[in-house]
Amino acid sequence: MDFFRVYTVDEALAVLRKHIAWDFGVTYVTLREALGRDVGEEITAPEDVPGFDRSTMDGFAVRAQDTFGASEGLPAYLTVTGEVLMGQKPGGSVGVAEAYHIPTGGMLPDGADAVVMVEYTEQLDEHNIGVIRPVAPGENIIRRGDDLKAGSLLFPAGHRLRPQDLGLLAAAGISKVPVRKRVRVGIITTGNEVIPVDQTPGPGQVRDVNSYTSYAQVLENGGVPEEYGIIPDDFHAVADVVQGALEECDMVVISGGSSVGTRDVTARVVDSLGDPGVLFHGLAVRPGKPTIGAVIGGKPVIGLPGHPVSAMVVFNLIVRPLLNPHYRSIPVQARILRSLRSQPGKEDYVRVSLAYKDGELTAEPILGKSGLIATMAGADGLVRIPLDKEGVEAGDIVEVLLF
Amino acid sequence: MDFFRVYTVDEALAVLRKHIAWDFGVTYVTLREALGRDVGEEITAPEDVPGFDRSTMDGFAVRAQDTFGASEGLPAYLTVTGEVLMGQKPGGSVGVAEAYHIPTGGMLPDGADAVVMVEYTEQLDEHNIGVIRPVAPGENIIRRGDDLKAGSLLFPAGHRLRPQDLGLLAAAGISKVPVRKRVRVGIITTGNEVIPVDQTPGPGQVRDVNSYTSYAQVLENGGVPEEYGIIPDDFHAVADVVQGALEECDMVVISGGSSVGTRDVTARVVDSLGDPGVLFHGLAVRPGKPTIGAVIGGKPVIGLPGHPVSAMVVFNLIVRPLLNPHYRSIPVQARILRSLRSQPGKEDYVRVSLAYKDGELTAEPILGKSGLIATMAGADGLVRIPLDKEGVEAGDIVEVLLF
């Protein structure tokens, strides 16, 4: 490790991933429990869905060719020879110039290849209808296997399941879903100056903020947070707790105080516990520079910056991609209302609040030191100013990462 | 109610809200439990945060005026008369031409009004330093109350708490958070043709898909889903279950089959159970027209369309705003790759998949009938074509609602 070089986000993620060795195996959960879980192994459709040709409309199952040329002036006359009942196989088949009553979702009788909507028919007498619009073969029906073909890929391993994915699994008849174990994340707070939330800070003391934001961010990204409390800046005390967390968890986030002492102890402890140890110490991101990245025995250990805003930004940039690798943050475009300067060689993340003005989305930068959590709670997202840019001008269209 | 008029989404929400009478009271939860909950009553800051002037850098606490004019050629010489320790009140004060060592987060000693970063000092001997850059009063410090002023508004009632909001509450020392009760949503599936997921559909039968997607969508929007199973299309059977769900829940979603029989029974049952009953029957949305909106005894009852895709779209348009009123769906801009036609007088929601092509976000429409759940699982979002538009042209920039 080059202790004096700061890493870009991409470099940091690459070096962490190179050393992380996770194997979560596969476990089965019920369909409802599968929401937000990562698929454990490729899932394919066990059968055709639907398993039969089905009507998508209320109307009449017909042979399409019998309706060709039909119009209001010259209807096609058909004899209704049967009725399809929901949940039942049709009793017969549709012959030339014949039709079956069919409800939405009903199984298409043999012989029929289309459905005429009831709106485009007129009842002539008890047994006969006139069709006033032609239908093409396949119209208003879903064919067997149109939704899913037996054996087709539903989800690759690693896919995180959303509500619509549960719907697809339900349609395919998969009631037990193979998923990966959730990532268990140990959250450790260090710092002599950090006190529990329900105490009143004395001089030089601050309340523990970062363990709450980290806890919530782990949950939001599908991990299981495990709390290890507030540990004083003592090498052996911190080492014991980090060691214990590494045994019980897949990942450790040290959500420290912001003092030099805290940062030093964290880096020394992490480097002492195993190989490869600390991989980088410093991220080319503002806010977020004092970030420590390490891997010990295949498990990542991330030392977040002490300032709450920096800690949340770094969590989003470094911890989230590890926890939730398929997370896609699609930026929204907005017009920035103030010019922002940036140092080249650092990615800047500027908090902004979004509002619609004259029908256009605008981003108002929230200026304030990264120690001020109030600036984060007021923000809707972050504008990223890339490494090689010196800033943005008021009126520019910028990309906002929502959070 | 005008049974023959379809409602726009805005009209539908307005008429539902006019009749909904929910009172969730206020209950207290721990800070960690508060993630995703709605604030129950206005929360204000109980005290100034920070409670003391604090350094944001490692360096020396000084009187700024003693550094004015300092440069590398002509440093300002100061005597270090003390050290601020983390978590402790400084032992003395900083006088003329004096400085205190101070760590990041340390409490500013009396007399000092700025902090010089250690990088801009040189150690001359055991007790004396040279400052090579001037600091302005207030530089590198956060003043008492800069983050939060005692009595200032943190969150209005109704705000849904995000990770950064938990951080703000932690900083303010609020460890018990007043929240509203979660909305309890009864999910009822109806339809003779609907069978449980673990069974194989016979002719004309379909597996229950909508209760899974609704369950997941309720969870995602902060509600508590309660399942009432699959009920046959029988007036009394459906009425009993809806009645029971209305007693136990705050809202009922009838996630029915798609047959006419199912829709008829649902509408008649809902209208029979109390006032005002059914408010609209038909939504000017595609897919999603066969939607029933009702309120009974102050509780909304929504009959979703039977097709899974339509049901999910209508959930997002009608159920989500009721469950999660502060949800802000900020659309992303993308270039649409195909032209789409739309009927004026209906809002069209077209499923699209998103991809970056040549650095630009593009939206590829996923065409397919709304009965096909596979089209929903493959989609990243919906393009809305407003009521008064006839379509979009390939190459147009469109707004995509992510899901």
Q: What is the pLDDT of residues A294-336, one digit of tens each?
A: 999 999 999 999 888 899 999 999 999 999 887 777 778 899 9
Nearest CA in chain B to A149: B374
User: Which of B171, B202, B209 has the CB atom closest to A373's CB atom?
Assistant: B171
Nearest CA in chain A to B33: A216
Contact residues on chain A for B50, CB-CB shorter than 8 A: 201, 206
Contact residues on chain B for A163, CB-CB shorter than 8 A: 212-213, 216-217, 220, 312, 403
Give the confidence band of A267 by pLDDT, cuts at 50, 70, 90. Answer: confident
Q: pTM of the prediction?
A: 0.89
B147·A372 Cβ contact <8 A:
yes
Interface test with chain A among B35, B164, B265, by most A beta carbons within 10 Å: B164
User: Residue A107 corresponds to which amino acid?
Assistant: M
DSSP assignment, residue B110?
Answer: B
Query: What residues have CB less than 8 Å from A20, skipping those under 6 apart?
Result: A295, A298, A299, A300, A322
Taking the C-alpha atoms of residue B127 and residue B308, their distance in angstroms, rounded to an integer, is 76
List C-alpha distances in Å: B218 to A271, A353, B322: 45, 27, 11
Name the minimum distance, in Å, from the CA of A66 to any CA of chain B: 24
Top pLDDT among A264 and B73 is at B73
Contact residues on chain A for B380, CB-CB shorter than 8 A: 330
Contact residues on chain A for B312, CB-CB shorter than 8 A: 163-164, 167
A88·B204 Cβ contact <8 A:
yes
Is residue A270 within 8 Å of residue A296, measured between CB atoms? yes
Instruction: Give strand ranges (E) for B232-317.
Output: 251-255, 276-281, 285-286, 292-296, 299-304
How many whole angstroms from its chain centre is CA A53?
34
Contact residues on chain A for B103, CB-CB shorter than 8 A: 259-261
Q: What is the pLDDT of residues A23-37, one digit of tens each?
A: 889 999 999 999 999
Query: Could you please report the per-residue DSSP string of A73-121?
Result: SSPEEEEEEEEPPTTS--SSB--TTEEEEE-TTPBPPBT--EEEEGGGE
B204·A47 Cβ contact <8 A:
no
Taking the C-alpha atoms of residue A189 and residue A73, their distance in angstroms, rounded to an integer, is 81
Taking the C-alpha atoms of residue B254 and residue B263, their distance in angstroms, rounded to an integer, is 10
User: Residue A393 corresponds to which amino acid?
Assistant: E
Contact residues on chain B for A85, CB-CB shorter than 8 A: 204
Four-CA torsion B146, B152, B155, B157, nearest 10 degrees: 180
Q: What is the ipTM of this complex?
A: 0.88
Q: pLDDT at residue A291 above 60? A: yes
Q: Is B384 exposed, middle or buried (0-12, 13-18, 19+ CB in 10 A)?
A: buried
B258·A104 Cβ contact <8 A:
yes
Contact residues on chain B for A259, CB-CB shorter than 8 A: 58, 86, 103-106
Question: Is residue B360 classed as helix, strand or coil in its secondary structure?
Answer: strand
Taking the C-alpha atoms of residue A72 and residue A68, their distance in angstroms, rounded to an integer, is 13
Name the minimum distance, in Å, from the CA of A42 to any CA of chain B: 15
Nearest Cα to A224, choosing from A366, A11, A36?
A: A36
Taking the C-alpha atoms of residue B102 and residue B115, their distance in angstroms, rounded to an integer, is 8
A312·B164 Cβ contact <8 A:
yes
Mean pLDDT of chain B: 91
Q: What is the pLDDT of residues A354-378, one digit of tens each?
A: 988 887 889 999 877 666 788 888 8
Structural domains in chain B?
Answer: 9-24+182-323 (3.40.980.10), 26-49+160-180 (3.90.105.10), 54-142 (2.170.190.11), 332-402 (2.40.340.10)
Q: Identify which of A107-116, A369-378, B197-206 has the greatest average pLDDT.
A: A107-116
Name the minimum distance, in Å, from the CA of A299 to any CA of chain B: 24
Name the minimum distance, in Å, from the CA of B118 to any CA of chain A: 12
Give the confidence band of B147 by pLDDT, cuts at 50, 70, 90. Answer: confident
Contact residues on chain A for B31, CB-CB shorter than 8 A: 197, 212
pLDDT of residue A327: 78
Q: pLDDT at residue A64 above 90? A: yes
Is residue B347 within 8 Å of residue B8, measured between CB atoms? yes
State the CB neighbour count (10 A cutoff) for residue A286. Answer: 17
Question: What element of type H or E holds A348?
Answer: strand A347-357
Top pLDDT among A324 and A187 is at A187
* Residues above pLDDT 90, as percent of chain A: 67
Interface test with chain A among B117, B160, B166, by most A beta carbons within 10 Å: B166
